[in-house]
Amino acid sequence: AEIRGHRKTYIGAMPGRIIQHIKKAETSNPVFVLDEIDKLGRSNHGDPSSALLEVLDPEQNNEFYDNYIETEFDLSRVMFIATANNLSTIQGPLLDRMEIIEVNGYTIEEKMEIAKRHLLPKQLEQHGIEAKDITLKPAIIEKVIEEYTRESGVRGLEKKIGSLVRGVATKIAMEEPNEPLLTKTEVEKILGAPIFDKDLYEGNEVAGVVTGLAWTSVGGDILFIEASLSPGKGKLTLTGNLGDVMKESASIAMAYLRSNSAQFGIDFRVFDAWDVHIHVPAGATPKDGPSAGVTMLTALCSAFTQRKVKAHLAMTGEITLRGKVLPVGGIQEKILAAKRANIKEIILSKSNEKDILEIKADYIKDLKFHYVKEMKEVIDLALSKQKVKNPIDLSIKETHKPN
């Protein structure tokens, strides 16, 4: 009834929301924003998404019938913009009538510009502070973004900048000495200790430790995948709060390595003599997604060959049982996270090369990209010829049984 209108036989009958707002807009071709269309509820009283089909379908909305005005109305000239957080909860027929535009979260570089141009001036105006009373250097804004907020937008960032401005306003009101240029110490004094830790590249002198790239709802991040061996019977253990997709990636990587052990210089009998444990640190954080296949295979290969992974190298991509490297999404966010973490070289699927071309040249300056199609290329690029200090002895000793 909210969409199609009430019949006049009901008490308090009124036109549907669509007709009401066209009357309010006083034009037949307005822009309508249908906010959070994924929250439409279904009940025994009816299904609003079915009623919306008549509104959004360009083939039939030129004859939209409202029960109250009892006549057809042409909605074909109305521009409908719907927003949603999750497409999976929108009914298929309704989703088919929409053009999908994916909007990613802001990168840290974009957040810094937004803070400088919009958020800080807005907070200064609201608190009656002049620009000369507070100066936020880019390094300070970046510290606030990375260590005090975890979000795809800038709502939390605006609150933190507001706190900094209020800290300065308090000093001015109390007639205390105020240094306009805020330091990291001053920021921590106002906002408290950092809430989030930033992952930085760690030198991996141990075999089996590889740096991967991950996409999260709040941007890109780096993650470490660790593989260790212990004498046993070939059991594979996975820890680190992994989802089903990452568990499958580990199984595929193990299966590929076993079937192609000869080309990597691994004795096939080793797999039945050693247990493998794969761990992704930060066990409290759920992790899933099809981006860790190449990283897991490289970690396993490094552990079984006891060869080091090259310094300042990260990778992302999915693999198949045939050893093909598949493209993945979220490339821009991952690349920017890698650069912030002091990564110098990145391994990607050849199919992701087009995504790199879309990134601003300033963002990827000083980064070296390797585009691969096969897992053999990844191993050749990622593993150095040098073995780690004190490598594990994985050689299988021949035993001769007496006749």
User: What value does the CA radius of gyration of the chain take, rounded to a whole number of Å?
Assistant: 29
* Percent of residues in the chain assigned helix, strand, coil, to nearest 5: 40, 20, 40
Of 261, 269, 204, the C-alpha closest to 234 is 269
Burial of residue 210 (number of CB atoms within 10 Å: 0-12, 13-18, 19+): buried
The answer to whether residue 259 is catalytic is no
Among the listed residues 143, 308, 334, 339, the single catalytic one is 334
Among the listed residues 291, 302, 339, 349, the single catalytic one is 291
What is the rounded distance in angstroms from the CA atom of residue 191 to the CA atom of residue 167?
9
Torsion sign over Cα 187, 214, 376, 274 = positive
- Spatial neighbors of 89 by CB under 8 A, at least 6 apart, are 38, 39
Q: Which strands make up the sheet holding 219-231, listed edge to edge? A: 236-239, 274-279, 219-231, 209-216, 313-315, 345-349, 368-372
Cβ contact 299:227 at 8 Å: yes
What is the rounded distance in angstroms from the CA atom of residue 107 to the CA atom of residue 336?
8
The answer to whether residue 351 is catalytic is no
Cβ contact 297:319 at 8 Å: yes
What is the rounded distance in angstroms from the CA atom of residue 186 to the CA atom of residue 171?
12
Catalytic residues: 291, 334
